[in-house]
Amino acid sequence: MTEPVAARWVVIDIEGTVTPTSQVREVLYDYARPRLGPWIDEHPDDPEVGAAVADVRAEAGLPADAGTDAVVAVLHAWMDADRKATPLKTLQGLIWRQGYADAELTTELFPDVVGALLHFHDQGAGLAVFSSGSVAAQIASFSHTGDGDLRHLFQHHFDTTNAGPKREARSYRAMTEVLGTDPGDVLFASDVPAELDAAAEAGWRTVGLARPGEPFADADFGTHRAVTTFDDISIEVPA
Ligand SMILES: CSCCC(=O)C(=O)COP(=O)(O)O
Ligand SMILES: [Mg+2]
């Protein structure tokens, strides 16, 4: 990106934008898959787990008393289809948080990401994350990266629970309220054109990450600027 974008906030997507898609769909999904059933059975009194399991049953049309095996079969099918259903994301996030705490997981970021985020931060921009991954998963994921603990960089974390669906403008309007700024002061970076469309509809500025080898490398980004690396994104923070 040659021209700097005026932005007080930079909001980043995760999968395909700052981490390779394989980091989520292979490393993290493979970690969660065998642990979902045991996690559900070992946390019978955790209200967050109970609510997520009830939501899986309801969303999948299972009976209200369907057992763990039936619930896990649905969760595995959703993962196979990469359906980013909120109750799945809640349960994955709890499992991944434990995995990061146990030092069994480390987040691999694209090599251009940390330098760019540090630069935006040093320029005085606020940084936030908007991902289908739960807030718990996001925070855990940035606590153990190949580049160290990056949690201090982010002032806000948004997911499909506290903001809403990623492809709907109302989610971006809700986040704008929380950020306490004008929508035109926010730059959203994502690999998914439909997410950028929703952000633009809410008045945000957008940049598409068309990273070589990633699922949206050859996507049509329409009127959104598209770059292949964060090295090509520059911002200026209005005085
Ligand atoms: C470590 S955060 C987990 C990310 C995740 O579960 C996911 O589905 C990523 O989706 P995104 O909206 O960031 O593309
Ligand atoms: Mg993405």
Tens-digit pLDDT profile for residues 84-115? 999 999 999 999 999 999 999 999 999 999 99
Q: What domains does the chain contain, in order, with CATH numbers?
A: 5-19+107-236 (3.40.50.1000), 25-101 (1.10.720)
Residues having CB closer than 6 A to ligand 1 are: 13-16, 24, 84, 89, 92, 131-133, 137-138, 141, 166
The size of the chain, in residues, is 239
Q: Which atom of ligand 1 is nearest to the CA of 195?
A: 12
Task: Provide the pLDDT for residue 67.
Answer: 97
Q: Which atom of ligand 1 is nearest to the CA of 141?
A: 1
pLDDT digits (tens, 9 = 90+) for 115-154: 999 999 999 999 999 999 999 999 999 999 999 999 999 9
CA distances from 76 to 1, 39, 89, 99, 217 (A): 39, 14, 12, 19, 27
- For the entire predicted model, the pTM comes to 0.96
Using CA atoms, how far apart are residues 135 and 138, in angstroms rounded to an integer?
Answer: 5
Centre of ligand 1 to C-alpha 16, Å, is 9
pLDDT digits (tens, 9 = 90+) for 21-57: 999 999 999 999 999 999 999 999 999 999 999 999 9
Using CA atoms, how far apart are residues 56 and 111, in angstroms rounded to an integer?
Answer: 36
pLDDT band of residue 1 (cuts 50, 70, 90) is low
